[in-house]
Amino acid sequence: MDTTKLKKLALSESGFIFDPSTGISYNSNEMAMRIISLLNKERNEAEIIAKITEEYDINQETFTRDLDYFISQLRNLHLVS
């Protein structure tokens, strides 16, 4: 997955995300911020699933579905490709 654009986003602890190249901003929750941070560290989907299910009380099946959906949203926003 190409995360070049994702790495250029300005992330704040509050969950506010600013894309300096387009001027578009987003609001995200703690989980989204955590996933973005893992993607920015070049973790693949399997590694992210392992990490998040270890850190949070969530089963693998549910999180895998949520992660797929979240990554598809990032694709739609042209933040990953």
Partner 1 sequence: MNVDLTNVNCTVAVTGLKTGDNPQPGTPVIRCLRDAGFKGKIVALVYDALEAGIYVEDLADEIYLMPFPSGGSEVFLRRLDYILSKVKIDVIIPTLDSEIINYIRLEDKLTDRGIKFFLPTEEQFLARDKTKLNRLFEELGISVPKSIFCSDAQELYNIVSIITFPFFIKGRLYEAYEVYTLDDAFAVFAKLKAKWGLPIIVQEKVIGDEFNVALLGDGEGGMLGMIPQRKIIITDKGKGFGGVVVENPELTEFAKKVISNLKWRGPAELEVIQNSAGQIFVIEINPRFPAWIRLSAGAGQNLPAMSLMKALDMPVEPIDTYATGTIFIRHSEDIISHISKFGTISSLGELHNKEGK
CA distance 75 to 66: 14
Residue spans of alpha helices (H) in the chain: 4-7, 30-40, 45-55, 60-76
> Is 24 a binder of partner 1 (CB under 8 A)?
yes
Nearer to partner 1, 10 or 50 (CB): 10
Residues in 25-64 that interact with partner 1 by CB under 8 A: 25
Nearer to partner 1, 23 or 54 (CB): 23
CA distance 55 to 26: 24
In whole angstroms, the minimum distance from the beta carbon of 24 to partner 1 comes to: 8
- 26 DSSP assignment: E
Residues in 1-20 that interact with partner 1 by CB under 8 A: 10, 18, 20
Interface residues toward partner 1, by CB under 8 A: 10, 18, 20-25, 78
